[in-house]
């Protein structure tokens, strides 16, 4: 049985690699066309190509269920057409044994995907984003973008962050229990001293006392409730650049600081559910691709059906994620629901499979 497992696994891996290569080339061309329009003297063509290559694995990761579906379907449809599945049936390999043979490679696939999203694709994506950010100049934030945070009745805004993580354009707004603005602080530059303590340089302090506005300049002003260096690093990351561990830590930080971490929790659970969704797609492909007595012309129809199912799953998942963000649905339920649907559909097809 080990030989048979290796044989089937080899065909599945070949199918996955083939379709992943096709999807990778298509995504590469699309992303290159988009990014080449942004070429400047600093953001050169070489940096564009490097940025696209480094961010491509994370994009392919989101398409893993579709890749596994079409790749597995291709492998088993091909084996069926070559009558090799007929040989397996004649040798006494029933459906239950076939599923047991496939469980180990699918379990390994899950582990590899979880490991890749934690230690490979997200760090590569972050590296690619840093290359593009460095080429844009001395501000790693997008034009017009600011970072906001809150601690009690005090709100913080960071408008600029240099490549050396030097903060600038800082605003602090302190409100009273009646929600009246008591004090507003603005500083063009600051230095992170230790922990969350910052030293604001050349700060302008506006305060209201009995309806009177008072303005003063302070050469240096210390403040304790801003971001630490590690938190600044996380704040700069887009969600695609965050591995699951960082996503979890950041959404926990947002919740503890009184902010909404719903979007990051949704991204976290959606990321974690990708490997189980890929396993469900492999089982679904087994039900679609193994058709005793299928003719050569049927392979094209099976592949078309697989691609259609994969596209519908991807679009449905994206729509469900958008609805989850709009209506603040449970992140876990939003991510798990498509996976449950896949396994239910796969179970029905496998039960109806004539073997």
Domain coordinates in residue numbering, the chain: 2-133+264-352, 153-226
Q: What is the mean pLDDT of residues 206-222?
A: 89
Phi and psi at residue 245, to the nearest 5°: -65, -40
pLDDT of residue 304: 85
Could you tell me if 217 and 204 are in contact, meaning their C-beta atoms sit under 8 angstroms apart?
yes
Nearest of 184, 132, 141, 185 to residue 160 by alpha carbon: 141
pLDDT of residue 302: 76
pLDDT of residue 140: 59
Beta-carbon contacts of 206 under 8 Å, excluding residues fewer than 6 positions away, are: 183, 184, 185, 186, 213, 214, 215
Could you tell me if 278 and 64 are in contact, meaning their C-beta atoms sit under 8 angstroms apart?
yes
Q: What is the pLDDT of residues 13-26, one digit of tens each?
A: 999 999 999 999 99
pLDDT of residue 296: 54
Q: What is the mean pLDDT of residues 244-269?
A: 89
Alpha-helical regions (H) of the chain = 2-36, 45-62, 64-81, 84-90, 95-119, 121-136, 229-236, 244-256, 262-272, 274-289, 298-327, 331-352
The answer, yes or no, to whether residue 179 has pLDDT greater than 80, is yes
The answer, yes or no, to whether residue 241 has pLDDT greater than 60, is yes
pTM to 2 decimal places: 0.84
């Amino acid at each position: 049985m080990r030989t048979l497992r290796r044989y089937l696994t080899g065909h599945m891996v070949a199918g996955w690699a083939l379709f992943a290569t096709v999807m990778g080339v298509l995504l590469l061309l699309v992303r290159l066309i988009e990014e080449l329009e942004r070429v400047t003297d600093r953001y050169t063509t070489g940096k564009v190509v490097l940025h696209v290559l480094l961010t491509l694995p994370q994009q392919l990761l989101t398409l893993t269920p579709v890749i596994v579906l079409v790749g597995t379907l291709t492998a088993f449809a091909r084996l069926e057409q070559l009558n090799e599945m007929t040989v397996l049936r004649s040798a006494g390999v029933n459906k239950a044994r076939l599923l047991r043979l496939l469980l180990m490679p699918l379990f390994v696939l899950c582990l590899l995907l979880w490991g890749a999203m934690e230690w490979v694709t997200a760090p590569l994506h972050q590296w690619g984003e840093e290359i593009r950010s460095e080429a844009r100049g001395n501000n790693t934030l997008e034009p017009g973008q600011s970072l906001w945070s809150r601690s009690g009745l005090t709100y913080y805004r960071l408008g600029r962050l240099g490549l050396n993580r030097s903060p600038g354009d800082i605003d602090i707004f302190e409100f009273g229990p009646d929600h009246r603005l008591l004090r507003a602080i603005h500083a063009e530059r600051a230095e992170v001293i230790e922990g969350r303590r910052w030293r604001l340089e050349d700060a302008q302090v506006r305060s209201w006392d009995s309806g009177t506005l008072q303005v003063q300049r302070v050469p240096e002003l210390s403040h304790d409730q801003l971001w630490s260096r590690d938190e600044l690093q996380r704040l700069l990351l887009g969600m695609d650049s965050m591995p699951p561990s960082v996503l979890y830590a950041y959404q926990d930080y947002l919740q503890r600081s009184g902010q909404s971490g719903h979007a990051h929790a949704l991204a976290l659970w959606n990321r974690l559910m990708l490997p189980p969704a890929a396993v469900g797609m492999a089982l679904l492909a087994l039900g679609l691709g193994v058709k005793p007595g299928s003719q050569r012309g049927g392979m094209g129809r099976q592949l078309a059906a697989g691609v259609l199912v994969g596209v519908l799953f991807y679009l449905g998942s994206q729509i469900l994620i958008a609805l989850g963000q709009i209506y603040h649905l449970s992140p876990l339920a939003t991510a798990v629901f498509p996976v449950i649907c896949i396994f239910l559909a796969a179970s029905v097809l496998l039960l109806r499979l004539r073997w």
